[in-house]
Amino acid sequence: MAHVKLFDIAVARSGDKGDGSNVGIRARTPELYRFLEQNLTAERVKAHFHAICKGRVDRYEVPNLLALNFILHDSLGGGGTETFKTDAQGKVHGPALLHMEMDVPDALLPAK
């Protein structure tokens, strides 16, 4: 097992969705997608964003894109036009998710 940040095994992008954000994460290989599909649960993402996301987290699988899509409800401090937050549109939620650390089997790690 290797202890890695998701930065090493995936890419991500986020944007606003009403009063919440969406965070899409794409695994670097099909094997890593299966690993994330099993391990990167909505609960785990909610715990990661505990201080930012006040609502529930929904997860959608997009296996053809090796991707998972998370909706972080109530995570912008009010809607996009009304919030005071500097990150009014959840633009940094994508990279913020990639800060998550996980134990990944060595065999799954992409070549550097």
Partner 1 sequence: MANDKVVRVANGQGFWGDSLLGPLRLVDEGPLDYLTLDYLSEVTMSIMQKLKSRDPNAGYATDFVQLLARILPKLKAKGIKVVANAGGVNGPACLAAIKKVAQELGVKGLKVAIVEGDDIYGDVDRLTAGGEAFTNMDTGAVFATVRERLTSANVYIGAKPIAEALDRGADIVVAGRITDPSLALGPLIHEFGWSMDDWDRLACGTVAGHIMECGAQCTGGNYTRWREVPDFAHIGYPVAEVQADGSFVVTKHEGTGGLVTVETVTSQLLYEMGDPHRYLGPDVTVDFTTVQIEQAGKDRVRISGVRGSAPTDTYKVSMTYADGYKIASGIVVTGPDAVERAQLCADIVFERLAMHGAPVAPENRFVEIFGTNVCYKGIVPTPENPGEVLLRIGARGPDRKKLDILGREMAPLVTSGPPGLTGFAAGRARATEVFGYWPALMDKTKVSPRVTVEEV
> What does the binding site for partner 1 look like in residue numbers (CB under 8 A)?
7, 11-19, 22, 24-26, 28, 48-52, 60, 62-67, 69, 71, 79-82, 84-87, 91-92, 94-96, 98-99
Nearer to partner 1, 12 or 36 (CB): 12
Rounded least distance, CB 105 to partner 1, Å: 22
Nearer to partner 1, 20 or 104 (CB): 20
Contact (Cβ atoms closer than 8 angstroms) between residue 106 and residue 97: no
Q: Spell out the long-range contacts of 30-34 with Cβ–Cβ below 8 A and sequence spacing 24 or more.
A: 30/66, 31/108, 32/66, 32/104, 32/108, 32/110, 33/63, 33/66, 33/67
